[in-house]
Structure 1
Amino acid sequence: MFRHSQLESVKAWIVRPAHAAMPLHARIQRAIRQLIVDGALGPGKPLPASRALARSLEVSRDTVEAAYAQLHAEGFINRRVGSGSFVAEMTEFASNRHLSQRDTLLRNQAPNLGKRGGAMFRSGGVREMLSPRPFAHGIPETRSFPLQLWERLERQVRKEVGAQTLLHGDPQGTAPLRRAIADYVNLERGARATADRILVLTSSQQALWLCANMLLDPGDRIFVEDPAYYGAGKAFDAAGLECVPVQVDRQGIVVDRIITEPRRAKAVFLTPSHQFPTGVTLTLDRRMALIEWAMRHQAWIIEDDYDSEFHYAGKPTACVQGLDPYDRTIYIGTFTKSLFPGLRIGYVVLPPQLVKPMTVARTLLDGHSAPMAQLTLARFMEGGHFGAHVRTMRGVYAQRLGVLADLLGKHLSDFLEPGIPAGGLQMPCVLTCDIPERTAIDAARRVGIELMGLSALHAAGDGKAGFLMGFAAYTPLEIEVAVKKLGNAFRTLAKL
């Protein structure tokens, strides 16, 4: 028979609200199994007769019999006619309460990862806020997204394509979406793309991972902007690459450093249309110089065009890929910034020779992107809705940028100097007071405001202290409330 404590443990497991969805016999079976796994019921120990346990638990005997039958089928107990039910001899689980000190230390030590796995874990990954608050960067406005239109297009896809959308998809991406993307980047970004050169992915981060692991080997050198996008740096570090920082000035990455560098690198990573985080645009002469450098050295240009749709002063500059006649540029785009983060669709425009290798590599990661979302997005683009949405949001974001700049001048001019960007979803601001960057970030977080520090984005951590302040996802009223809170927090720090 069970001891009183064991019986009470089973009763408690049965009535726990979290287990209410399970059938009663399954709850009893799980409760007894847990006693065995914990070592409370050791090998060879007898279980109560089904009739006696049913009476104690106030359930039918059939319910207990069903629980015992499942335990027997899983190998936790043996049943002998005329003798009863016993914990199986092979089931030698150690109780957590009886772990040796050595076992406890082994259990709590760092995981035994490989070098690449350890590098990924130490990087901390790339984490996004699930519920963004001012001034989290890189987040578009989603509350005004035309959701009803999207749902109508999705219903059309389900009606016309049917169960085909429930099956595996093409690893390269659905043909309609690849055609729509090629048409878009050719028209709006001056690219040289065809549908057969497009690879649809889940994100630009996945594209960076593929580039780092398919084009370069551990120990290879890659030039990166300084300061640089943190997600790219983490992807390259995890792949074991040697990142060589190259200064960014008002004209973008300083190309002379790359051209005159005696030690060769196999690639360069750029955000040329809207440099992250400074917001500067890479000049045409530097773009052409990089293209010639890549051709001469058979190196790759990895171009991340993460938010170029949103340009507020004049026309956006054509992408590097469209200027490159030698097919040495990999162009990365995403719909995370232009539509909504939950869509999880990005893409790359690849040189012809990389399409098959990259597509095969992608199958080792996640197989393919969801066909339903791809086909819906294709219709959204084909119907002109994507272009209309981008134009609308461009006006909204320009207004919000202006509101933020005005409010910073009014309430935080003693602390910050904003660098008003020509485009994008965030604005860099330099600290002009004696408050340490980390102290300011912590104070902002205490009043519900999120700021990304700028200094850590520099290779040596020696960049000017300041913040990246996102504005696209927040209404003018939300921006005003947040700026006033930030001003009060900084004034309080200045008095200390």
Structure 2
Amino acid sequence: MFRHSQLETVQAWLAHPAHAAMPLHARIQRAIRQLILDGALGPGKPLPATRGLAQSLGVSRDTVEAAYAQLHAEGFIDRRVGSGSFVARMGEFTAGYRRPTREALRRNQAPNLSRRGNAMFHSGGVREMLQPRPFAHGVPETRAFPLQLWERLERQVLREAGTQALHHGDPQGLEALRHAIADYVNLQRGARATAERVLVLTSSQQAMTLCANMLLDPGERIFIEEPVYYGARKAFDAAGLECVPVDVDRQGIMAQKIIDDPTGAKAVFLTPSHQFPTGATLALDRRLALIDWASRHHAWIIEDDYDSEFHYAGKPTACVQGLDAHDRTIYIGTFTKSLFPGLRIGYVVLPPQLVKPMTVARTLLDGHTASIAQLTLARFMEGGHFGAHIRTMRGIYAERLEILAGLVRRHLSGLVEPQVPIGGLQMPCLLTGDIPEQEAVLAARRVGIEMLGLSSLHATGKAQAGFLMGFAAYTPEELEAAVLKLAGALKAVRRS
């Protein structure tokens, strides 16, 4: 029979709430297995008879029999007719098995990552709030999304595609969606796209990671905007690239510094239509100069057109990719901001020579994008619903931006100066008082408000103190309540 302590171990497994979903025989089997692995039951030791153990545990004999049968099948015990069940002698490999010491456990819990793995881990990743709160940036309004229309289109897709929609999809993306994307970016963004050049992905972040790993080797240089979207810098850092920051002024990235740089670089990352976070638009002469630079140096332009749909003053500028006759520009877009984050569909428009390499590379990451979502989105775009939704949201967002700017001027005067953008989903603000940026961000967080400090987007430490205020996902009433909370929090910091 088991010693009292061993029987208590098995009884504890049966009673533990964490094991409640596990069948009784599995709990008994796992408990005995752990006793064997811990050395509490050594090789050759007899196990209790099934009838006796069943009585001790208050279960049926069949339950104990099922546990023993599984232990025997896994090689933990031997069963001898007429003699009973015994802990198996499992050979040299397990003869020295001992329960790990606390020190050994501590060593084993160290990640022991590769250099690239360490870079990815210590970057902190790119994580979004599951339930955004004011003033989280880059979040669209989802409460106004035509969900019933989307559901109806999805039902149509399932009726027509049937079980075919449940199979693996084309890693480049389904043709219907690639055609819809090409038509859209050609018409609305002035791109030079065809369905054959579109690669459907899960996000713009995935696109940047692919570019970083497929186009450059570790140690090679890439020019980035200063300030820059943090997800881009993290993708490039994790790939082992040397990021070279180039200042941004009111006309976008200062292209002449790239052209005059004698050391050279293999690529430049741009948000030319609406620079993140300043909101600047890259001037036409600088666009053309960078296209010429990329052609002469066989370099790449990585263009992130992340929220160009939401332009509130005049007509948006055409994308760089549409001007590039040399096919050196990779154009990145996403539906996360224009529709809803849970859709998880982004895309790239690639130079012809990159389509096959990039498509093969993405199969190593996630295989393909979900087919049902792709087919539904294609139908949503083909039916004109995407354009209608964008027009509706553009009006809503423009109104909310105006309201937020007015609220900041009214309630945060002397503390914050709004830098009202001509587009996008967030407004940069500069701290004009004597409150340090980090203190302002932490004070806001203590009252339930989320803001991104501008200094985190700069590599050179030259940032003026401030933060981004997302406005798109919040009603006028929510914006006013949040601004009043923020005003109280900042004034409290200043008094202290």
TM-score normalised by the chain length of structure 2: 0.96
Matched position secondary structure for 1:333: strand
How far, CA to CA, are the matches of 2:105 and 2:32 in structure 1? Answer: 25
Q: Greater CA deviation, 11-20 or 472-481?
A: 11-20
Q: What is aligned with 2:28?
A: 28
Q: What is aligned with 2:328?
A: 328
How far, CA to CA, are the matches of 1:76 and 1:483 in structure 2? Answer: 64
Matched position secondary structure for 1:185: helix
Quote the offset at 1:132 in angstroms.
0.9
Q: What is aligned with 1:293?
A: 293
Matched position secondary structure for 1:62: helix
Quote the offset at 1:154 in angstroms.
1.0
Q: Give CA deviations for 1:42-88 in whole Å, capped at 9, x if unaligned.
A: 43333221101111122111111011101111122222222222223
Counterpart amino acid of 1:346?
G
Matched position secondary structure for 2:413: coil
How far, CA to CA, are the matches of 1:239 and 1:465 in structure 2? Answer: 29
Q: What is aligned with 1:224?
A: 224
Q: Greater CA deviation, 49-58 or 78-87?
A: 78-87
Q: What is aligned with 2:493?
A: 493
Note closer, same or farther for the CA distance 1:319–1:406 as it changes in structure 2 (3 Å cut): same
How far, CA to CA, are the matches of 2:407 and 2:75 in structure 1? Answer: 68
Q: What is aligned with 1:360?
A: 360
How far, CA to CA, are the matches of 1:31 and 1:476 in structure 2? Answer: 58
Quote the offset at 1:442 in angstroms.
1.1
How far, CA to CA, are the matches of 2:470 and 2:139 in structure 1? Answer: 7
1:430 and 2:430 matched: yes
Counterpart amino acid of 2:279?
G
CA contact (8 A) 1:311 1:394 kept: yes
Q: What is aligned with 2:153?
A: 153
Q: How does 1:225-304 map to 2 (within 5 A)?
A: 225-304=225-304
Note closer, same or farther for the CA distance 1:35–1:200 as it changes in structure 2 (3 Å cut): same
Q: How does 1:174-189 map to 2 (within 5 A)?
A: 174-189=174-189
Note closer, same or farther for the CA distance 1:271–1:72 as it changes in structure 2 (3 Å cut): same
Q: What is aligned with 2:205?
A: 205
Counterpart amino acid of 1:427?
M
How far, CA to CA, are the matches of 1:440 and 1:35 in structure 2? Answer: 54
Counterpart amino acid of 1:126?
V
Quote the offset at 1:33 in angstroms.
2.4
Gaps of 5+ in 1: none
How far, CA to CA, are the matches of 1:40 and 1:228 in structure 2? Answer: 58
Quote the offset at 1:117 in angstroms.
1.4
Counterpart amino acid of 2:458?
H
How far, CA to CA, are the matches of 1:75 and 1:341 in structure 2? Answer: 48
Q: What is aligned with 1:68?
A: 68
Q: What is aligned with 1:94?
A: 98
Counterpart amino acid of 1:476?
P
Note closer, same or farther for the CA distance 1:143–1:16 as it changes in structure 2 (3 Å cut): farther
Residue identity over aligned pairs, in percent, reads 77
1:106 and 2:107 matched: yes
Quote the offset at 1:28 in angstroms.
2.0
How far, CA to CA, are the matches of 1:310 and 1:43 in structure 2? Answer: 71
Q: How does 1:398-409 map to 2 (within 5 A)?
A: 398-409=398-409
Note closer, same or farther for the CA distance 1:36–1:136 as it changes in structure 2 (3 Å cut): farther
How far, CA to CA, are the matches of 2:37 and 2:460 in structure 1? Answer: 51
How far, CA to CA, are the matches of 1:38 and 1:453 in structure 2? Answer: 51
Q: What is aligned with 2:49?
A: 49
CA contact (8 A) 1:40 1:95 kept: no
Q: Greater CA deviation, 173-182 or 55-64?
A: 55-64
Note closer, same or farther for the CA distance 1:35–1:389 as it changes in structure 2 (3 Å cut): farther
Quote the offset at 1:240 in angstroms.
1.1
Q: What is aligned with 1:463?
A: 463
Matched position secondary structure for 2:269: strand
CA contact (8 A) 1:199 1:348 kept: yes
Quote the offset at 1:7 in angstroms.
2.3
Quote the offset at 1:108 in angstroms.
4.0
How far, CA to CA, are the matches of 2:282 and 2:38 in structure 1? Answer: 62
Counterpart amino acid of 2:315?
K
Q: Give CA deviations for 1:357-405 in whole Å, capped at 9, x if unaligned.
A: 1111111111111111111110111111111111111111111111211
Counterpart amino acid of 1:490?
L
RMSD: 1.4
Quote the offset at 1:473 in angstroms.
1.0
Matched position secondary structure for 2:365: coil
1:166 and 2:170 matched: no
How far, CA to CA, are the matches of 1:147 and 1:34 in structure 2? Answer: 50
Q: Give CA deviations for 1:210-240 in whole Å, capped at 9, x if unaligned.
A: 1111111111111100000111111111111
Quote the offset at 1:188 in angstroms.
0.7
How far, CA to CA, are the matches of 2:153 and 2:37 in structure 1? Answer: 51
Q: Give CA deviations for 1:138-171 in whole Å, capped at 9, x if unaligned.
A: 1111122111111111111111111111111101
Counterpart amino acid of 1:173?
G
Note closer, same or farther for the CA distance 1:104–1:34 as it changes in structure 2 (3 Å cut): closer
How far, CA to CA, are the matches of 2:337 and 2:76 in structure 1? Answer: 52
Note closer, same or farther for the CA distance 1:473–1:43 as it changes in structure 2 (3 Å cut): farther
Counterpart amino acid of 1:95?
R
How far, CA to CA, are the matches of 2:397 and 2:47 in structure 1? Answer: 68
Matched position secondary structure for 2:339: coil
Matched position secondary structure for 1:413: coil
Counterpart amino acid of 1:249?
D
